[in-house]
């Protein structure tokens, strides 16, 4: 009998435990949305910044949309064509070219822009000047999708590689050299580029603020319900 009484008392506390868990979960999700909103505000502020360009060196690590510049030369013998990139003008390809940084053991990938895809036609991606030059642009990431059901490159592919949304690791394995964990989105004023429209690929922070309000309201409701049950049970 004592055991049954203890078991029944324990069951009465389960709703309180669940409510505490919900309060913690909802508040955590709300804080996460506020952090995401802060990150987006910082990224948009960086994109619109009038600050000068920062020179890339061996240890550089940049957030997205920072103004960066690099000194070195293109490696046009090992270019990468990222296939099936959709833009307003249709389906096309992004041309990504390795750029060997002077006085560095790493390579930075340069997104030279988008070209419209033509059936049964290989894109003309130009022979590039092999002299040491300086290029400018924005720090960015490789185009990516949420789900990819196959490897980016075929096993027997030759240069230039044609792939579907490759990762930095996959490109690094193909190059056999270390690459920076960000790319350079070539500035529109730079030569040797194609169609370049580097608008921020992120929504504004308002959406995240809206989600945060929803999570905090659900947290508040859970707190009110917890207080109500405590008063009802103990007082």
pLDDT per residue over 208-223, tens digit each? Answer: 888 889 998 999 988 8
DSSP letters of 63-102?
-TT-EEEEEEEE-TTS-EEEEEEEETTEEEEEEEEEEEET
pLDDT per residue over 156-205, tens digit each? Answer: 667 888 878 888 888 888 888 888 888 898 888 888 888 888 766 666 67
Are 100 and 177 contacting, i.e. CB atoms less than 8 angstroms apart?
Answer: no
Cα dihedral sign, 176-180-183-187: negative
Q: Which of 66-75, 128-137, 193-202, 215-224 has the lowest mean pLDDT?
A: 193-202
pLDDT of residue 22 exceeding 70, the answer is: yes
Are 204 and 38 contacting, i.e. CB atoms less than 8 angstroms apart?
Answer: no
Of the candidates 218, 204, 166, 183, which has an alpha carbon nearest to the alpha carbon of residue 42?
Answer: 204
Between 2-47 and 206-234, two packed helices, what is the crossing angle to 10 degrees? 160
Question: CA 61 to CA 32: how far, in whole Å?
Answer: 24
pLDDT of residue 2 exceeding 50, the answer is: no
DSSP at 48? T
pLDDT per residue over 181-190, tens digit each? Answer: 888 988 888 8
Question: CA 26 to CA 3: how far, in whole Å?
Answer: 35
pLDDT of residue 75 exceeding 80, the answer is: yes
Are 139 and 66 contacting, i.e. CB atoms less than 8 angstroms apart?
Answer: yes
Query: Would you state the pLDDT for residue 3?
Result: 40
pTM of this structure:
0.63
Are 93 and 170 contacting, i.e. CB atoms less than 8 angstroms apart?
Answer: no
């Amino acid at each position: 009998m004592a055991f049954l009484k203890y078991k029944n008392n324990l069951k009465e506390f389960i709703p309180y435990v669940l409510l505490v868990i919900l309060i913690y979960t909802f508040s955590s999700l709300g804080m996460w949305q506020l952090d995401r909103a802060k990150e987006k505000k910082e990224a948009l502020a960086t994109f619109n910044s009038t600050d000068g360009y920062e020179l890339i060196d061996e240890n550089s690590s940049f957030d997205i949309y920072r103004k960066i510049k690099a000194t070195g030369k293109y490696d046009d013998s090992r270019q990468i064509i990222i296939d099936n990139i959709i833009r307003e003008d249709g389906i096309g390809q992004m041309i990504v070219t390795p750029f060997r940084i002077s006085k560095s053991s790493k390579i930075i990938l340069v997104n030279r822009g988008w070209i419209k895809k033509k059936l049964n036609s290989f894109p003309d991606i130009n022979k590039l000047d092999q002299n040491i030059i300086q290029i400018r642009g924005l720090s960015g990431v490789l185009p990516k999708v949420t789900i990819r059901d196959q490897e980016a490159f075929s096993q027997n592919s030759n240069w230039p590689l044609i792939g579907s949304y490759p990762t930095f690791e996959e490109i690094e394995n193909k190059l056999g050299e270390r690459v920076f964990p960000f790319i350079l989105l070539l500035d529109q004023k730079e030569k040797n580029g194609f169609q370049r429209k580097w608008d921020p690929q992120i929504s504004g922070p308002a959406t995240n603020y809206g989600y945060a309000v929803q999570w905090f309201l659900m947290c508040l409701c859970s707190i009110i319900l917890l207080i109500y049950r405590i008063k009802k049970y103990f007082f």
